[in-house]
Amino acid sequence: MATVTSTWASAAPSISGSFTPGEWAGAGSLPMPGGVIFFKNDANFLYLAIDLVNDTGNSPGVGDYFWLSFDVDRSGSITPNFDVHYAIYPALPIRIARQFYLGPGAWTGILSTPSPALAQQGFSATPLSPVPHRIWELRIPLSEIGLAALGAATLPYVRFGLRVASTTPPFVTDFPPGFFTSFAGLHTAYLSTAPDTAYPAGTAGPVVGGVGLIPFSAISGGRATTAPGQIPSVDHAAFGGVLNLIYNHSTVAGLWAAGARRYSVLHRVGDSGAFAPLRRTWLNYRWNGSDFALDYFGPDANDHYELRDPALVYSTKDLLFQWNTTGNAGEPPTANGLHEFQIQFYNAAGAVVAAPAQSLQLFIDNALPQLQIYEIRYQGVAATPCSIVEIKETPDPVQVRFRAFDPEGNLLSYSLQALYGLSGTPPVNLLPAGVGAYPGGNWSGVADMTVDCPVAPVKFPSSTCAYQFRLSAVPRVTNGYGYIGYIETTTPVTLRRAGAPAFVAPKAVVAPFGAQPGPEGFSVVGS
């Protein structure tokens, strides 16, 4: 069993199969038989470059392949229909697909659900060898391998096994051996939760560098707007959920050298009135030289927190304060609205250590938008839920009256769709083009709106079927790593259109895979 520490991808590597040294500079590396695996990650994806210096034959087709398996629940054993296996399809062009494990050496068929996973192969020289050889570049969504988002207090690591196969020269290498029959010896990759230098030069605050991946300079009036192309991309976003206040590393390193050993977090509601100490607790994982050990943080009787040596390596780097605004472990939920923070430092004797003056304002909003489908009407008559409506051959549209409203003005988008048929049937979008999209500034959405369902180019509904009218919304709220929150409401109505056929399900497509592992990388046992 081997371990590797992934490094933060400030810019996502292009998954092209062309190994660009700059893209993988500073990546975590893990030697394997015949090559090296490079690891980077950001808040959404794990990126791998498999540099196979021993595979010097540029074989066409799919004879060169890989398997990549993950212990999604990190249990150390195979969990049927949960742990996941990636490989390539059995025919060109090269593309990645995934299966669930059923047991040791047994998998489901290829999953039909869409996935943002990517894989590309290349063949060229790299810094490891001037002789051209096989390269694989992969992008794996963290949400598919047990890590929905980074920045939380859970230890970000994945357990994995890899197979690489070559036609010329012929070899099959399992790393570790037999990983697909037993997960007990899988390798471990620890993921980074923030860049080593958390924010672009000149954007960090003097003490609190920022919140999550959002630098202090991007926060104004308590809301965040990041620069184009920055991760995360947010526009005039409020804050909510679990917030990581990240310190300015150079400032705190200087304060540590000046004798600072403790600090207090001062807080007030709004932008006036007295500040008072804020008491919270959190966890972080510290590298002890061979593994990550869990550290506890909390205030003492004087409302002071221990300042740890900035040279220590933590899974969430430079974490000054973690604030769960939703409340947990007896902590009350935070009131929505503007909150302001200041940080005070002390030496071991309790005397104040001078630090740069800074106030951080955050507008908190953990309330989800208000959604309601008031009624669904046809020819002036409201349909009751689960009723059957006869649609006549007239120009009259089906009408939906609804509310998609955020009182705090923090709405990102809303949508209105009609779902029908099988799960793979595309829904019908019922809103006019551009309606429901964030226009900028403080936006609340609509309090009471009626839309005519489309009548062109094909009148809605096109088929007689049971329809689920789904109204959904996403708030414009971030935890510092991306937008968070989602809400929906539905109303079922059957629409029977005169002269239109009932919905006919498409025929299932069965992929022609064999029952044993083959050179294409997939094994199909069960369904």
The ranges assigned to domains in the chain are 3-190, 208-364, 370-497
Q: Which residues pair with 370 in a beta bridge?
A: 405
Nearest to 253 by CA among 318, 343, 348: 318
pLDDT at 499: 67
pLDDT at 194: 64
Same fold, 3-190 and 370-497: yes
Nearest to 320 by CA among 198, 234, 232, 478: 198
CA distance 119 to 15: 7
pLDDT at 462: 85
- Of the candidate CATH numbers 2.60.40, 1.25.40, 3.30.70, 3.30.519, the domain formed by 3-190 belongs to 2.60.40
Cβ neighbour number for residue 189 with a 10 Å cutoff: 23
- Name every residue whose Cβ is closer than 8 Å to that of residue 48 and which is 6 or more positions away in sequence: 37, 38, 39, 68, 136, 137, 138, 140
pTM of the model: 0.67
Name the fold adopted by 370-497. Immunoglobulin-like (2.60.40)
pLDDT at 379: 93
pLDDT at 316: 84
Sign of CA dihedral 354, 357, 358, 359: positive
Q: Which two tokens stand for residue 372?
A: 């309601």
DSSP 158-214: EEEEEEEEETTTTEEEEESTTTTT--TT-EEEEPPSS-SS-S-TT-S-SSEEEETTE
Q: Cα-flanking dihedrals φ and ψ of residue 249, to 5°?
A: -60, -45
pLDDT at 46: 95
- Answer for the pair 460, 397: CB distance below 8 angstroms, yes or no: yes
- Kindly report the CA angle at 26 between 23 and 29, in degrees rounded to 5? 100
Separation of CA 478 from chain center: 12
DSSP E strands, 42-156: 45-52, 65-70, 84-88, 96-103, 106-107, 118-126, 129-141
pLDDT at 196: 54
Nearest to 405 by CA among 471, 306, 308, 491: 471
- Answer for the pair 513, 110: CB distance below 8 angstroms, yes or no: yes
- Per residue of the chain (527 residues), what is the pLDDT tens digit? 898 988 888 778 999 888 876 788 878 899 999 999 999 998 889 999 999 999 999 998 999 999 999 999 999 999 999 999 999 998 888 999 999 999 999 999 999 888 999 999 999 998 889 899 999 999 999 989 988 655 444 568 899 999 999 999 999 999 999 999 999 999 999 888 766 556 888 899 999 999 998 999 999 999 999 988 787 889 999 999 999 999 999 999 999 999 999 999 999 999 999 999 999 999 988 887 777 788 999 999 999 999 999 988 888 889 999 999 987 666 778 999 999 999 999 999 999 999 999 999 999 999 999 999 999 999 999 998 888 999 988 889 999 999 999 999 999 999 999 999 876 678 899 999 899 999 999 999 999 999 999 877 778 998 899 999 999 999 999 999 889 999 999 999 999 987 666 655 544 333 333 223 333 444 433 33
- Answer for the pair 122, 135: CB distance below 8 angstroms, yes or no: yes
pLDDT at 15: 92
